[in-house]
Amino acid sequence: MDNRINLTGIVLSVMPVGDYDRRVTILTKEKGKIAAFARGARRPGNSLLAVSQPCVFGNFTLFPGRDSFTISEVKVEEYFSEIREDLDSVYYAMYFCEVADFYTKEGNDEREMMKLLYASLKALVKGQMSKRLIRSVFEIRTSVLNGEGPMLNECVLCHEKIQEDKRLFSVANGGAVCDRCKAKLPASDLRSLNPSSWYALWFIGNTPITKLFSFTVSKEVEDELSALSADYLFSRVKHKFKGDKLLEIIGG
């Protein structure tokens, strides 16, 4: 009897296994993050060769096994092949996949994270927004999806409603700090942000994901967001991503 199942997902990572196989991590709409084997995927001419690559998005037909799945066939909707043609885009995409992998689990509802990853990869391909800004949006929204988004309208320390023109941003404490509380924190943890950066942070946290990659900001605001978003994400998870090191090398 055919017990195959169909899942919609994006390949996050690929590892060689044995002589000819690959182990593939897929972020799926239906089952969260799963592991699947692509048997024979490293043999030339094998039908799974092209589809078991990072960023491939489509419908995966799988045989369920005891601890993982085996890929039977894949109907690809998007290869994101443009990303593989540009090394900078490859680094960004790898980083996005690594972060998504870190944050997701099997059996969880990860649809929002999947949508965010998909939209971020789409934005890389479109090239309308700078890669740096795409990264900031991805990082901030990832924190928001995980319930760790920055607090913007009240003070993170006293929880009073904040006076907008006097607020400062504390990465370590996760958001706005009021004029009275700022003395309690080291100056090195307090950033003064452009009003447009505050608005951008709000927008990134509250706009539907499909409309997230459609705004522009000044160079100054992009610099501020860029300096803030990676620190913000890392200070929440206390984890250094490999992809971040690669992006440092290319100045992303």
Residues 147-166 that bind Zn ion (CB under 5 A): 155, 157-158
DSSP bridge partners of 169: 176, 191
Measured from the CB atom, the residue of 75 and 180 that comes closer to Zn ion is: 180
- Shortest approach of Zn ion to residue 176 CB, angstroms? 8
- Shortest approach of Zn ion to residue 168 CB, angstroms? 10
Residues 167-186 that bind Zn ion (CB under 5 A): 178, 181
| CA gap 212, 228 in Å, rounded | 18
Residues 6+ apart with CB under 8 A from 248: none
Measured from the CB atom, the residue of 37 and 169 that comes closer to Zn ion is: 169
Measured from the CB atom, the residue of 87 and 158 that comes closer to Zn ion is: 158
| CA gap 36, 17 in Å, rounded | 11
- Shortest approach of Zn ion to residue 193 CB, angstroms? 16
Measured from the CB atom, the residue of 164 and 220 that comes closer to Zn ion is: 164
Measured from the CB atom, the residue of 15 and 158 that comes closer to Zn ion is: 158
How many residues touch Zn ion under the rule CB under 5 A: the total is: 5
Residues 6+ apart with CB under 8 A from 1: none
- Shortest approach of Zn ion to residue 173 CB, angstroms? 10
- Shortest approach of Zn ion to residue 172 CB, angstroms? 15
Q: Which residues bind Zn ion (CB under 5 A)?
A: 155, 157-158, 178, 181
